[in-house]
Structure 1
């Protein structure tokens, strides 16, 4: 049996030039990212599962024990001395406690005897008001009824209660009074009291992991639905235009197209399963929503209030879900005309204003506060009133308050229009891009092809630019029963096709998705609409040709014939990409008029030809025979093909052939090289999921290895300063974060995963190398160079492997650690240079040819490549760059040091200096005047002094971690008095297995709140631990 191979390419080859409008594409992708990021916006205010979880509260025998113990604990921890002066809001992230305070000046207070008057005026605006139980309201109203307030008699009076959601405990709250102004401090006044409200959320680690998993799945589901319901249709539309144009019998040399994508947001909003999933996502974090409502009602911390408003913007999904439910009801009862579809952008803007406003009004308007308090105690047994709240009914009311906003608008407009607009308004131009959502009207106004012009006419006109399309909206205006979703406007999802004839814009066509139409198949009198609209969009789905299998000879003949037919137009030399069939075509002109037949084929003729390193023996023989022939025209419209495999898997096939142009002299030929990359959708999905997993792994490693430590450092500084016994009112700090990149680079698992990720797309790497070596399309070449920059992970993985070997064999001194930034820059230059050299240097070409057939059976070497060995060599060539530097630098440095000592005395290195850093960080320091200033001199960097003395102490001897260091600027009475370089202890190998080098813990406690590395001449160093555990070292 002969070898069987798939015949290609597809007969549906690209003929028309179709490009996407870049500005509209960018806006569309921004809208896509906005939707995809919606589940993860929760983590603006919520905790990630790997963050430290506070200890669960102790179990108490009864409510009195719980309330007394919890109240005493809260009052001891949140005092005027532990909270920032003047702060009405404080977030204790370590214990997950929200603290809100307000000062009540009752100097000229008139007693309020009536409870109704108290609830209507005195309590309004108090922190956490809507969550008060009757016990807290009684306490505050008793204070309001006191005719002569004595602050000391109300000091530390209060109570605590439990917050539940659907009977599940989600936290507990406390309210108490304190004598004097605890917010601003000062002398104790007998008529001034401070009311403090605290909420402590319950955080369960397993539940946080479940929520993260749910949100990750929801994000992937939304991405899949958007691709399936919108972007896949856009892709097929572009492919159809490229093959057939917008009408039949058009010349591809005279017509070109520009496709302006719309905003896919509305497509996903009308999906009830997505809307319900988002509503569930919001209410599985009830305590976080409650905290957000608290934060939105305070103005002591404007940044926190802003972040809270962004978090509460997620509640727009209450409105979208309500619109989906209303759409179902309207369709079921056939009353679509009773509702005016709403603009999703205006809904989002409305909820962004209305939601925080509702949160603020709920604590400042009497009936709303009482309504919330009533709903929170509605399902609480009378015996437990004052001891707990059940938030379920209140959350349902909050959902309805948000959801009613677009519903009220949608139902009110038809009624108002019917009452006040008796005359028939002017029919809008449905084909116009400005018959759209407010967001899209604004965007189209900025795009040159859509700016107002006198040259635009409706379809009936015969002058210049014609606007066509929008018939579906004319149908909706005639009868709203045709709307598939009568509540949400889908106009923003429309695409616009700009048709250019001989480089002149002659037509703008509005294209709407058929999914917005209800064909009313169950209603016979409306069914003909299906045929009418089908005729308006002919030939949308391209023909799919079943694959044919044949022996290689038949494959070669069929493929060459298909290539030469599809790409017969060689008037435009250079690079061409057929996106429909995934084919890359490169061409080169060969002037053979002065080329003798006796040249050395590869050395003098073939070098520099497109795709040369991938040529098999048969293709080289074809070229060499053409060169040596006296009748070269006999080789026109002939060529040779081969199949590319990677680890025995087919990844593509390519051909070369010769042709001639009519206008060229008889001795000028065109060599074409075409490569078809195989694509499997299942494999693409697997790669996408794998890459999402890698992204999550990197984010987790960055957080656990760096940002978690930064957050702990900030907590220590806020609570205790950089040393013990400092006055919080006179000291402040500025923390300059470092670059955490090196933390990830030294992680062998991450580096290995990214190397695997790179070689999962062997054919794409091969194409990138191919396109990086051409100069006909500079934009494509630039994109290929950016893509090839991913191969820097070959170098990083090699550095991780060498680091392991150096540590194992205890020869850390033999390697000089490298700057990760310089490695990336070097690979960005070296990789493309390697690609260029592989085409123009003969020994490299022959080496690749030998490697690509090294594991191919002899009978298949003429028409098959096995790329595995070549990929391995390319990996080693990229990986060798930093290794050669690191191994060569130590002997060179010793030689240079000896020469310098003969010329000038040695200069001691300042390891604490911010300029003792990576090249990228040194450049950034130039823009920070406080770090660049010579005074005061920085402290720290002792870990690098230890590394210089003995490289055995390096945890990673190949990658420099200096860029990850933080710098702490200490201000006393607004004067900069100290700069401290803080390094992670993780960069230090304590060598506990070697008694002569082991870094022990000193018996002396550190003088600061960071670890202190103390160097002892002739002895191993020691570490002084602080009272508060810290991963940072001075």
Structure 2
């Protein structure tokens, strides 16, 4: 009979695996979320040529002549303010304005689509209404929106007398109905297929990044716990692993973030469409689609954070910035990218500021007196928009600091309640004295010599940020928890394990001295010696089979 001890049973926590899988799927299909609003990349060019408007060039003036025949009071139900015509790929908006233009506020600001109106059209709007009547030819105003002179979208408006939003029997001639149509330019099939291939490459990149640098490490942890104990004095009969999720690892790749930003820059026509959709609240489905699409601009913020990390690590200034929570940042970006656009639409001064950022060109002298701008370039305003989203982390960090100061000054009990469960998860039963005292000892300058070992690495990161590889994006989401049970199936330990790659052993002022001897434990261990409030030595003991985890 063999005297070898029985191998402990190791299982994965089912709920954590499910949640981690959800995050993984969300990451995997993130590059393809744009197709919720964009044209299918596999649709042939002929599918947009059902009628003559699909056969026209990118000139908005030709495109505009057919629109009043397609969209009018007889083809659109009363009460419909906004709808999307999927057959022709256009957004149609209707607004009712008073013919009396003697008010203090220009009625043009109440029209859906006004953010894209040229400056001369907004200034001459009262004359546009005066020129409109049932006996004169219909006035159609059209202009093109470009990006570095490349076609991006077409905008068309026309005004009809009366209120088309109500039944004809209730219509009145004291008002007029303004029709605004926005149509993103449908690029050629080759370009759409190329962009689809580009996005599929991002999907593959994310898949390789998450599997190779995270889920393979989770498998390594599972295998190591079957062979070796979590630590030398472990009494565990079985282990259960609470799996984290790899979002933080994906968002920490500067090149990947930059490629997402390039994808947004190549889809400016749909960014403009999303901005229009969040300016209306009649159709909540398309409002949500607009918010979701504009939420992709959070990649500008992630790019800023990854580049800032490189700069801070180069100059050993990691303590200048607290790692940002990417979940909070994504939520704020969704609200800021779309919600703020909707709110700002109510402020004429802000709309006028946006108008100045459009760069008009090809001003036609032979057009109507109230409209001569036929082309506007939005490259500059896209730079401003993405740059604004890029500095969003600094605004979030500032607000977070103010909030923490307010909470700390008003109540200490709330803070203790918020941290109680986290403290239980981070500290282990085995190391409660050393792990719990790690925070206390690192902050006690009166003690001259101390040795702190084990426990969570985050108190170390808080005291010496240079030791963390990522000092701008929080990596806590990738941590796993190992639950240890004795032979009576009682929980005896909760150990938080972090990826060893999160410890910077190259760029810190005092590099870690790595002990190459493999320990008997399943995970690595960090030993830090502190003398006179300064770190004198720091050694990293690798776990079994060069374990990628450290406890």
TM range (shorter): 0.7 to 0.9
Q: CA–CA distance in 2 between the matches of 1:173 and 1:21?
A: 54
* Equivalent-residue separation in structure 1 for 2:458 and 2:513 (angstroms): 13
The answer to whether the 8 Å contact 1:339/1:411 transfers is no
- Residue aligning to 1:499: 484
Aligned to 1:213: 197
Take 1:153 and 1:458, find their aligned partners in 2: how far apart are those partners?
88
Whole-angstrom CA distance in 1 between matches of 2:280 and 2:405: 43
Distance 1:133 1:239 in 2: 64
**What is the CA-CA distance between 1:508 and the residue it aligns to?**
1.0
1-structure distance, mates of 2:402, 2:281: 40
Q: What secondary structure is seen at the aligned counterpart in 2 of 1:178? A: strand
Which of 448, 459, 466 in structure 1 is aligned with 2:432?
Answer: 459
Q: What is the CA deviation profile of residues 165-203 of structure 1, one whole-angstrom value per residue up to 9, with x for unaligned ones?
A: 122112211111111112324245222101111122221
Q: How many angstroms does 1:153 deviate by?
A: 6.7
1:340, 1:413 within 8 Å by CA — same for their partners in 2?
Answer: no
Task: Return the TM-score normalized by structure 2.
Answer: 0.79
Task: Pick one of 501, 514, 522 that aligns with 1:515.
Answer: 501
Q: Of 253, 256, 275, which residue of structure 1 is paired with 2:257?
A: 275
Question: 1:240 & 1:345 partners in 2: Cα distance?
Answer: 31
- Aligned equivalents of 1:186, 1:268: Cα separation in 2: 57
Alpha-carbon distance change, 93 to 422 in structure 1, aligned in 2, over 3 angstroms: closer
Are the counterparts in 1 of residues 429 and 492 from structure 2 also a CA contact under 8 Å? Answer: no
Shift of 1:20: 0.5
Aligned counterpart, 1:394: 381
Say whether 1:190 aligns with 2:163. no
Whether 1:256 and 2:247 are equivalent positions in the alignment is: no
Match of 2:307 in 1: 325
1:167 maps to which of 141, 149, 156? 149
SS of match in other structure, 1:526: coil
Supply the distance in 1 between the matched residues of 2:108 and 2:433 (Cα, whole angstroms): 68
Is 1:367 the equivalent of 2:353? no
Contact 2:309/2:472, CA 8 A, preserved across alignment: yes
1:111 to 102, 106, 126: 102
The equivalent of 2:78 in structure 1 is 85
Distance 1:71 1:382, change over 3 A: closer
| Other structure's SS at 2:83 match | strand
**Cα pair distance change 1:342/1:101, threshold 3 Å:** same
Residues 844-883 of structure 1 aligned to structure 2 (within 5 Å):
none
Residues 974-1013 of structure 1 aligned to structure 2 (within 5 Å) = none
Contact 1:322 1:407 in 2 (8 A): no
2:471 corresponds to which of 479, 482, 486: 486
> What is the DSSP-based 3-state SS (H/G/I as helix, E as strand, rest coil) of the residue aligned with 2:324?
coil
Matches of 1:173 and 1:256 in 2, distance apart?
66
Does structure 2 retain, via aligned residues, the 8 Å contact 1:152–1:190?
A: no
Q: In the alignment, does 2:56 pair up with 1:74?
A: no
Matched residue SS, 2:168? coil
Q: 2:27 corresponds to which residue?
A: 35
Q: 1:920-959: CA deviations, max 9, x gaps?
A: xxxxxxxxxxxxxxxxxxxxxxxxxxxxxxxxxxxxxxxx
- Residue of structure 1 in register with 2:212 after alignment: 228
For residue 250 of structure 2, give the secondary structure of its aligned residue in structure 1. Answer: helix
8 Å contact from structure 1 (residues 340, 414) kept in 2: no
Q: 1:360 to 1:14 in 2, by over 3 A?
A: farther
The CA deviation at 1:18 is 0.7
| Count of paired positions | 488
d(CA) in 2 for partners of 1:387, 1:295: 23
Shift of 1:317: 1.6
Structure 1 residues 391, 201: CA separation in 2 closer, same or farther (over 3 Å shift)?
Answer: same
The CA distance in 1 between the partners of 2:173 and 2:336, in whole Å, is 41
SS of the residue corresponding to residue 80 of structure 1 reads: coil
Distance 2:203 2:507 in 1: 35
Change (3 A) 1:492 1:136: same
SS in 2 for 1:330: helix
CA distance in 2, matches of 1:46, 1:413: 35
Alpha-carbon distance in 2 for matches of 1:341, 1:249: 34
What are the superposed Cα offsets for residues 81-119 of structure 1, whole Å, 9 maximum, x if unpaired?
A: 12233211121212111111111134xx3515xxxx65x
Whole-angstrom distance in 1 between the partners of 2:404 and 2:230: 39
Alignment of 1:116-127 (within 5 A): 118=105, 121-127=106-112
Question: Following superposition of structure 1 onto structure 2, how do residues 396-795 of structure 1 map, counting pairs within 5 Å?
Answer: 396-410=383-397, 434-435=421-422, 459-460=432-433, 470-502=455-487, 503-519=489-505, 521-523=506-508, 525-528=509-512, 533=526, 538-541=542-545
Give the C-alpha shift of residue 221 in structure 1.
Answer: 0.6
SS in 1 for 2:358: helix
Q: Report the CA distance shift for 1:344/1:397 in structure 2 as closer, same or farther (over 3 A).
A: same
In 1: Cα distance, 2:122 partner to 2:380 partner = 20
Tell whether the 8 Å contact from 1:21 to 1:258 is kept in structure 2 after alignment.
yes
Q: Cα–Cα, structure 1 residues 497 and 420, in superposed 2: closer, same or farther, change >3 Å?
A: closer
Is the Cα contact below 8 Å between 2:514 and 2:540 reproduced in 1?
A: no
Q: Distance in 2 between the 1:326 and 1:496 partners? A: 30
Q: Which residue of 2 aligns with 1:342?
A: 324
User: Does residue 41 of structure 2 align to residue 49 of structure 1?
Assistant: yes
Aligned to 2:533: none
Q: Distance in 1 between matches of 2:201 and 2:389?
A: 26
Higher normalized contact order (CA 8 Å, seq sep 6+, divided by chain length): 2
The Cα shift of 1:470 comes to 4.8
Task: Find the aligned partners of 2:150 and 2:22 in 1 and give their Cα distance.
Answer: 38
Shift of 1:255: 1.6
1:942 aligned partner: none
Counterparts of 1:539 and 1:342 in 2: how far apart (Å)?
Answer: 29
Please tell me whether the aligned partners of residues 361 and 368 of structure 1 are also in contact (alpha carbons under 8 angstroms).
Answer: no
1:377 aligns with 2:329: no
Alpha-carbon distance in structure 2 between the residues aligned to 1:457 and 1:533:
16
**TM-score for both structures, normalised by structure 1:** 0.44
Structure 1 unpaired stretches of 5+: 1-12, 437-448, 463-467, 544-1034
Corresponding residue for residue 353 of structure 1: 335
Change (3 A) 1:542 1:488: closer
Relative to structure 1, the CA distance from residue 262 to residue 300 in structure 2 (aligned partners, 3 Å threshold; closer, same or farther) is same
Deviations 1:93-147 (Å, cap 9, x if unpaired)? Answer: 12111111111134xx3515xxxx65xx532231111111134324424357x6x
1:473 and 1:124 mapped to 2: Cα distance? Answer: 52
Q: Does 1:295 align with 2:277?
A: yes
Q: Which residue of 2 aligns with 1:241?
A: 225
* Equivalent pair of 1:154/1:178 in contact (CA under 8 Å): no
2:73 matched to 1:100?
A: no
Alpha-carbon distance in structure 1 between the residues aligned to 2:22 and 2:231: 32
Mapped to 2, the partners of 1:323 and 1:221 lie a distance apart of 20
In the TM superposition, residue 498 of structure 1 has moved relative to its aligned partner by: 0.8
Which has more radius of gyration? 1
